[in-house]
Each structure stands twice: as structure tokens, then as C-alpha cells.
Amino acid sequence: MFRETGFGDQANAVGEPGRGRLLEWGWGRNLLCLMNGLKVRLGAAVVAAGCLAILGTAGWLTPSEAGLGTHQQLGLSQCAWLGDHGYACPTCGMTTAFALAAHGRLGAAFMTQPAAAVGALLTAMSVWIALWVVYMGEPAMRHMRKLWRPGWYAAMVLVGISAAWAWKLTIG
């Protein structure tokens, strides 16, 4: 009457710890688990494709030697902040740093805009994590629950961008 499946960390039908296994009722629950697995895999495939599109676009761009302005190759206008105030905005150089990182010049990417260089590395890591989720069919967050602190991450992003802006203003 019960079927054993490979979903872990859940209780079995009588409420006992599953020890890596879950006993379930019939095909309906198994179909639901299959559909959830497909949703997880599809979501991860979309994340991987998006990250690859970002990195592919960055690789297609020619990094500006000035350390900023690479985004103009995408048809975007010059930074208004730079034109109005005469110094770089918090995001100046991010596209250039992504392009440098995509070309394998990580040192130059960090010198240009440290926050964007970290962002490029995290984007590349996200591709591999998403591909692992597509292959395994298991959400990555299951393994990262203890690390997931949205408020902490938001604060780290703000501090990182602020520090990178200070760096950008210091080096010119």
C-alpha cells in the first residue's frame, strides 16, 4: 500500500523520521513529486540560461580601457551622474568589469569595479549550481538553508557596492 521514494528529510506516513526515505500513498503523490521536480528543473534551467546570457553578453563586449563606458556598446547613453558631477557613480565600471571577467581578466576586473567582479564570479557560480539542480532535480536551497539570510545578503551588497564606489573614487 505504501511506496518508498528517494525524497529525504521528511517524515513517513506514520510520522516517523524518514532517514532519507519517504513512504507515500499511490501514484497521485508520486506524480505530484514528479511535477515538483520538473518545476525545479525548469526554474533552474531558466536561471542557468539567464546567467549564461549575461556572461555571454559580457564576453561579446570589448572592455573599455578607460574603466567605464562599455555599456555604450549596448546602445545605452553615457552615465548622467558622471556628466553632471564629474565623478563616477556607484555603478560606473560594472559593465566593464563584467566584460573583463568574461574575458578572463579577473585582476583587471577587480581593479576596475570590485563589486562587479564579485558579481561576475557569483553569476558564473550560479550557472554551475543551476546546472547541478537541473541534473539532480533537487532544489539547491535544501542544502543552503543555514546560509540563507536575505537581510544579511542585502546589507553585504550595500556595503560591497559602497566600498567599491569608494575604491572607484580613490583610483580615479
Count of domains for the chain: 1
Query: Which residue did the predictor score with more confidence, 140 or 39?
Result: 39
* Sign of the dihedral defined by the CA atoms of residues 162, 167, 169, 170, in that order: positive
Query: Which residue did the predictor score with more confidence, 152 or 166?
Result: 166
CA-nearest of 99, 30, 16, 18 to 65 is 99
Query: Which residue did the predictor score with more confidence, 71 or 139?
Result: 71
CA-nearest of 125, 120, 109, 121 to 168 is 109
Q: What is the pLDDT of residue 45?
A: 94
Residue with cell 506516513: 13
The C-alpha atoms of residue 92 and residue 94 are separated, in whole angstroms, by 6
Supply the range of the domain harboring residue 80: 2-171
Mean per-residue pLDDT of the chain: 79
Return the percentage of the chain with pLDDT > 90, whole number. Answer: 33
The pLDDT-based confidence of 69 (bands split at 50, 70, 90) is: confident
Asked if residue 109 lies in contact with residue 116, where contact means CB atoms within 8 angstroms, the answer is yes
| Model confidence pTM above 0.75 | no
Residue 21 has pLDDT above 50, yes or no: no
The C-alpha atoms of residue 27 and residue 16 are separated, in whole angstroms, by 21
The pLDDT-based confidence of 35 (bands split at 50, 70, 90) is: low
**Cβ neighbours of residue 62 under 8 Å, at least 6 residues apart?**
70, 73, 99
The pLDDT-based confidence of 3 (bands split at 50, 70, 90) is: very low
Residue 9 has pLDDT above 70, yes or no: no
